[in-house]
Structure 1
Amino acid sequence: MIEVLPRDEAEKKYGDEMYDLFPVPPEVKELTIVIIPDWNINACNKQHTKSTGEVGEIIEDYWRYRNAKQLLEIAFNIK
């Protein structure tokens, strides 16, 4: 699910939970919120597709769990 919201409204609705390791610059006033139910909410100021079918094949390079940071990292490329 994707929502496009003014930044202040998004922060009221989702709080800090929507921010990750790649901060959105403070001058960005409209955010795209990407929601994967029961897993992740992420704020972004980049363009997103409606589905992965729009970008082609996604090839996973690797994944790792960084225990010290409690972080799952997934690297991929788009063919």
Structure 2
Amino acid sequence: HPKVVNAEASWWYPELPGDKHWWYGNWISNTNVLTPDELETLDPYTGSWQNRALLCKVYRAVGFTPFMQYPTSR
């Protein structure tokens, strides 16, 4: 359907460093970082977060800086 977005889980970048700044890019595109993880948002029956069906807005990123760079603090 043209109005459905499917976000695959567990995306990471094995080519990125595994140090504490990068953790193989897990914090860049993993769908788990796109959803809230506050305790108030837990499902009362399962104790997990609702990540099956969420409303979202998709738009083009403007002025995005490429992420494939080392942090400046290195």
State the TM-score bracket (shorter-chain normalisation). Answer: under 0.3
- Name the one with the larger strand percent: 1
TM-score, reference length from structure 2? 0.22
Normalized per residue, the structure richer in helix is 1
